[in-house]
A and B are shown apart, each in its own frame.
Chain A
Amino acid sequence: MPHKEKDFSVIGKRQPKLDGPLKTKGRSQFTDDIELSGMLYGKIVRSPIARGRIININTTRAESLSGVKAVITNKDCPGVKVSPDRLLLCSDRVNFIGDEVAAVAAIDEDTAAEAAELIKVEYEPLTAVFSFEDATAKDAPVIHDECKNNSLDEYNIDFGNVDKAFAEADHVRIGECIFNPNHNCFAEHHVVIADYSLPGKLSIWTPNQSPLYVQKSMGGVLGISESNVRVFNLNTGGAFSGRIGPRQQSFIAAILSQKASRPVKIRCDADEEFVVYPGGGYFKYIIKTGVMKDGTIKATEATYLFDCGAYWNFAFNVLLRCKYHLIPQVYHMEAMRWNERAVYTNNPPNMYPHGAAFLQLKLAQETELDLIAKEIGMDPMELKLKNAVAKGDTTLTNIHYASCGLKESIKKAAKKASWKKKFGKLPPYRGIGIGCGAMNSGGPDKSGALIKIGEDGKLSLFVGLPDMGQGSHTAMAMIAAETLGVTIEDVEVVAGDTNSAPFDIGAFGQRGTFFTGNAVRLACLDAKKQLASSAAKKLGVKPSQLIFCDRKIFPAKAPEQALLFKDIVSETLHSKDGKHIMGKGFYHTSSPTKEPWVSTLAYSFGAQVAEVEVDPDTGIVILLKVTHAHDVGRAINPLAIEGQIDGQVFSGMGQILSEECIMEKGKVLNPSWLDYRIGRSFEVPELEYDIIETNDPYGPYGAKEVGEGPIVCTMAIANAVNNAIGIPVREYPITPERVLHAIKEKSKK
């Protein structure tokens, strides 16, 4: 049921993060801050070649180095696979530069590093392939025997009568976009502590987005019953779609710990960051769009070629198959076609950049819309507004929108940015662009929550949802405080230990606010019902007549009879019936469509206008201003929402304008935060926001996601650059060199 509009006591306030004091004091504990008794330090030996056979591994000298407590190779975990195509440690083959071959654990990092150097591995190099074209060429070497032609996945699906729709279109265009690899670059490097010193019991400390997935994955791979894998996730130093599951080093640390019978910590150096999680890979999109002369979109065909690198991440399989939902997600169209092909190469295994690679697809689609708008002489903002989805719509792929503020977002962003005054009227090399996006609030899944109330009226809220900085725990506390009529200071969120956490698949897929938020609300309503029952008896009214507000409980018509919240808790506990007020909540949905994952009940919508200035001499692009409007359903915490928009604009800016892993034969040439170009304080634009509330009927208090919605609107920046120089740049990021190249191409025409 939609939540009725009313004055909220807690929700909607600009609430600073509850853990702010600890974090600003430097007292929040991150994994690398932890030192366990007897802990060892691990170092991994990695392949220096992109493809080859392992002839011999000699660990003798490493094993005899003083201070070394364990050395492992595949012999210590034969046949153990972390995914269908990847062994925990390579046995006879290596498939990318950085592939894990052996590991050591020693009393300190220096000794571990020295021991790692003493491990001698003999390789026979084999021919490697590094591009989609080379991997699929006729005589290309086969990277995984079971995968002929290195073709990992091929999937095609049509919705509607595609050929007919294109045939009827007044105007059709085809365009191509290439996206080079980039990296999520979270501040806290990959680090793991594994304690597998007791048989059958594994404890893991690692920053991650899904303790449950780490638990299940590690338990499954190592043959440990899930509940005997305890995952601690105290604080996570950024995630940005990049920490959903365990990495190789988590498993390696566990095997080392088992062998040494001591906890082992493995921490990644800067350049290792670029191979243990390489972020987004190389994508190519070919987009065909058909429109009528009045701008109505008839059909879209998207062909998606993806280099997944040396190994396949199974979660990605799901994501790939579901990405087609994005095509008709924002704009009406009669028909669409999705062609997808993923191949193996000997590049580091790719997953997804910040935004789960949704940005890249939406960017390809929307830059084409801008171009087609130009070709038919239409304002792109008007074209997008004309085709924009609305509340009550059902998309071509059967996604239904119970709430939708897209049109309002477009209008607000355009107005605030003075679109009409600027579009087509700016001086040379100044540009303005608009991008529109939608994002699912999770998928069909489930979350649990538990609440325990102390006699002092304080709430202990147990959730399984991590907080990587997005403010999820603060939002959950706000929901709990609002539901039970207490203040946020009365709520403590208990999380970060799978032993005490309720079921929750984690903080990814933009699901936290929606799923865990609903579970929290249900848990609090459960507790509220128990309290209301006690208070109603005492006050001689019906429970439904009671109001919970300001730490008091009172009849709506007789506030002077208010009882203190904590007193009711205490009295209920010590009453003749004796009941400890505890609430449990469980929120689950099944897929509203047959397709998994990307179909869910609630979507956020946004529109962004970007303004840029291009230096025609150097090609350097300055992002001057971004105006963003976003439909979040309900702004649980506007301060946190602004923070999300800020970070995602920054990330989108980087992915579009500067961030690139420069690859050469499977090596990242710039694996450092100095040479990998993420902007800093001088690069950020002026930013204005509009937060729109459409009060979603399914979200907790009407709230929807905002965890990745804004980033899929940042294609506005690309559109602005294309507008500024009058020709599209088709390879990303839009570096100064690519800008100059495009300007030169334009001058030839």
Chain B
Amino acid sequence: MKSIITLNVNGEMHEIAVNPWRTLLDVLRDDLRLTGTKRACEQGACGVCTVIMDGKAILSCLTLAMDCEGHFISTIESLASSEGLHPLQQSFIDNGAVQCGFCTPGVIMSAKALLDENPNPDDTDIKEALAGTYCRCTGHIKTVEAVKKVAGSNREVK
């Protein structure tokens, strides 16, 4: 039997009728049509479904929608603003870290969660944040570099 839940996604409140077995990923993509968050392995091994919940990068394919009430969820669609792209998005573009683009939202959100928590991560922190994602195209080389550049510019600002 469906329950009505209220989800806070990208700062907007959404009232949705869901069955208990629907994941957050299902709701984001199919109900809210926020298709930037992707669906692939659905077992927690690829990270393409990564969103940020209460500041942490999580896997929406392994999160029940019904467990998300009362939490703050942000997806890739929340990053760019009317003023332009988020520095991470720009860095990914400028540094060749986007190829097929399928994993890109998940990788960027993983990086964003890291930088929000720690604006000056070292290489190990960055690799650790991205190790749960999967990028066959770049081989995780330019993606790590793109995050480093943003982290580096954070250091310069400091």
Contacts and interface: CB of A to CB of B under 8 A. Distances in A.
Interface residues of B, number: 56
B72 interface: no
B135 interface: yes
A176 interface: no
A684 B77 CA distance: 29
A126 to B, nearest CB: 33
Interface in A643-685: 643, 646-651, 653, 672-674, 678-684
A563 B127 CA distance: 52
Interface residues of A, number: 58
A23 B101 contact: yes
21 contacts: A17-B96, A19-B98, A20-B92, A24-B89, A25-B79, A25-B85, A26-B34, A184-B136, A187-B40, A187-B100, A239-B100, A468-B100, A643-B99, A647-B136, A647-B138, A650-B136, A650-B139, A651-B136, A672-B45, A679-B139, A682-B127
Interface stretch (A27-35, A359-367, A380-388, A737-745): A27-35
B62 interface: no
User: Does more than half of chain A's interface fall in helix, strand or loop, or is it mixed?
Assistant: loop
B85 A187 contact: no
Interface stretch (A230-238, A338-346, A717-725): A230-238
A286 B46 CA distance: 37
A240 interface: yes
Contacts of B76: 24-26
Interface string B79-94: 1100001001110111
Nearest to A28: B101
Contacts of B17: none
A471 B43 CA distance: 30
B57 interface: no
Interface in A12-60: 14, 16-17, 19-30, 32-33
B45, B101, B128, B137: which has the most chain A beta carbons within 10 Å? B101
B4 interface: no
Interface string A231-267: 0000111111000000000000000000000000001
B89 A187 contact: no
B138 A643 contact: yes
Contact of B85 (A24, A267, A679): A24
Nearest to B92: A24
B135 to A, nearest CB: 7
Contact of B40 (A16, A188, A651, A680): A188
Contacts of B29: 33
A267 B44 CA distance: 18
Contacts of A682: 127-128, 131
B74 to A, nearest CB: 12
B142 A681 contact: no
Given A33-B35, A270-B43, A684-B141, A23 B134 contact: no
A629 B93 CA distance: 24
Interface stretch (B63-71, B103-111, B150-158): B103-111
A660 B18 CA distance: 40
A36 to B, nearest CB: 14
A672 B128 CA distance: 21
Nearest to B99: A469
B139 A649 contact: yes
A712 interface: no
A477 B5 CA distance: 47
Nearest to A187: B102
B82 to A, nearest CB: 13
Contact of B137 (A14, A22, A647, A649): A647
Nearest to A189: B40
Given A16-B96, A24-B108, A651-B136, A681 B144 contact: yes
Contact of A185 (B98, B105, B128, B136): B136
Interface of A: 14, 16-17, 19-30, 32-33, 184-189, 235-240, 267, 269-270, 468-471, 639-640, 642-643, 646-651, 653, 672-674, 678-684, 687
Contacts of B127: 681-682
B119 interface: no
B124 to A, nearest CB: 8
B101 A469 contact: yes
A639 B138 contact: no
B115 interface: no
Contact of A469 (B80, B132, B137): B137
A683 B135 CA distance: 12
B92 to A, nearest CB: 5
B75 interface: yes
A17 B93 contact: yes
Contact of B101 (A186, A235, A643, A687): A235
B87 to A, nearest CB: 11
B56 interface: no
A468 B90 CA distance: 21
B142 A646 contact: yes
B42 A270 contact: yes
Nearest to B146: A24
A64 B67 CA distance: 34
A26 B46 contact: no
Given A673-B45, A674-B45, A650 B142 contact: no
B10 to A, nearest CB: 12
A23 B96 CA distance: 12
Nearest to A23: B101
B88 to A, nearest CB: 8
Nearest to B21: A110
